[in-house]
Amino acid sequence: MAAVGAGEQYLIRASEIVTFHYRQYIDEGAGNSRPFVFVLFSPYPIPRDRQGASPMQHDLLSPFSRRDLLAGLAGTALLAGQVPKTLAMDFAPYQQKTDRVVRMGVIGGNFGASFYWHEHPNCRVTAVCDLRQDRIQRLQRVYNSQATPYTDYREMLRDRNVDAVGVFTPAPLHVEMSVAAMKAGKHVISAVPAALDLAGCRKLIDTAKSTGMVYMMSETSHFMCEIIAARKFARAGAFGTLFYTESEYHHEGLVNLWFEDAQGNLCLRENATRPTWRHGLPPMLYPTHCTGMIVPVTGERLVEVSCLGWGDDNPDLVGNAYKNPFWNETAFFRTEKGHAARVSVCWHLAAGGGERGSFYGDKMSLVMWRPEGSANKLGYPQRDPRLGEQENLKDYGHFSVYNVPNFWEMLPETMRHDSGHGGSHTFITHEFIQAILEGRPPEVDVYEAVAYTAPGIVAHKSALKGGETMKIPDFGRAQA
């Protein structure tokens, strides 16, 4: 057995919470690799491999088992029990604890057909709803051919064989349908955004409180593997102080979703009968793919914003129901602890698209991939001079490539596969069902949903006033 890159000496500071490094020990005879837990309490860079050909590609927070983790910790005297308890808890593999079944009703046969209710061992889809028969049939084909079909969601809410409802409909309907479902005694998972105005945010919170039903927003960014990793890093203190974060949701081509013909099929404006709800939607009214990275990783609320928008005289923008003049909006936020955050949401740009973020701390940083092809990377501080001269990371400055784990061990075996929006859909499905079964708030509960949504609503108001700095209302947090 030969250890790759294992032999260098490090200055160890056992009092500091830092990064957990996972390495592979290579079996030279078989040519295979197996995981081995190797933990360092060090804020300094990790060296290049012995061949010096490329930086070590760290699988930090990789999905090794809780048994492996604890065994590694027990055998490492340097740790002395200092590992944060939340880390070990987060790595606990999924275990089915009940045979109870949550009966789901799904509203919306387009986006609503992209989740995995049929694969969760504690869930069954018993009802589906859409205005279009072809989409009803699609939902039945995906989830359950025997699911009761509805064309009126209010009728579905009266179905006693439905415990929970997925609201995957146009954004202007989210508040109305979610509130009606909770008042009907149904748990709710809603597509993003939670609301389009602050009054809708308040209504969701008040209804969730008064009914006691579970409410979750299905924000995909929160459950992307990069953000799962970033949240775990933050809880473990690996970043140190997160003094600046940024996120981008760039989606060129949305104009193709702005108009539809008499049959409800998407089309260009010149062939359209009517606009869709997306026509001219202000970018900052759809902020959650960005704020759904920043807020959960920092653990801080966004309290103040200045935002600028950009638009042109393109006729496609004219006459939208939102009276929005902007293709793109960029906002600069202040967090509750006085830290900085930048959010960019763009519908029209010559730079492709994607959802990504960067998280800058004084001990470690995580920079997600960029559309030109760069990889996820971890950044570290300047080398400590007491370590002497080393050739590690010369070509990358103080960054090393980060191979993000898939975290599938957190899911039931039937759901351990790729899924939509960066692998998030299986995690969203699982978290909602588990929250109901365990009688707890989901990770993106009504308070978090509003904390992701409201900052964008205020940011758009700021953009309409030329970047005026505005306060963001505090809607509170779930009670511990």
Is the per-residue pLDDT at 25 higher than 70?
no
Q: What is the pLDDT of residues 95-128, one digit of tens each?
A: 999 999 999 999 999 999 999 999 999 999 999 9
pLDDT value, residue 389: 54
| DSSP conformation class of 402 | B
pLDDT value, residue 32: 32
* Interval 42-67 mean pLDDT: 33
3-state SS of the chain: helix, strand, coil percent to 5? 30, 20, 45
Q: What is the pLDDT of residues 133-155, one digit of tens each?
A: 999 999 999 999 999 999 999 99
3-state secondary structure of 156: helix
* Interval 409-437 mean pLDDT: 97
The helix (run of H) or strand (run of E) holding residue 227 is helix 225-236
* Interval 412-421 mean pLDDT: 96
Separation between Cα atoms, residue 179 and residue 308, nearest integer Å: 33
Compute CA distances 214 → 43, 88, 178, 440, whole Å: 40, 26, 11, 8
* Interval 264-269 mean pLDDT: 90
| DSSP conformation class of 299 | -
Domains of the chain and any CATH numbers: 239-408+446-471 (3.30.360.10)
Compute CA distances 121 → 58, 92, 159, 217, 242, whole Å: 33, 18, 22, 22, 38
Q: Which parts of 36-173 fold into alpha helices (H)? A: 66-74, 85-90, 133-142, 153-157
Task: Please give the model's pTM, rounded to 2 decimal places.
Answer: 0.81
Is the per-residue pLDDT at 332 higher than 70?
yes
* Interval 244-267 mean pLDDT: 92
Name the CA radius of gyration of the chain, rounded.
24
Separation between Cα atoms, residue 269 and residue 273, nearest integer Å: 8
pLDDT value, residue 24: 28
Is the per-residue pLDDT at 36 higher than 70?
no
Phi first, then psi: what are they for 357, rounded to 5°?
-150, 165
Is the per-residue pLDDT at 394 higher than 90?
no
More confident residue, 182 or 397: 182
Is the per-residue pLDDT at 253 higher than 80?
yes
Q: Could you tell me the pLDDT band of residue 373, with boundaries at 50, 70 and 90?
A: confident
| Average pLDDT of every residue of the chain | 82
Degrees to nearest 5, angle at CA 451 with 92 and 311: 120
Dihedral sign from CA coordinates of 411, 413, 416, 417: negative
CA atoms within 13 A on the CB side of 294: 33
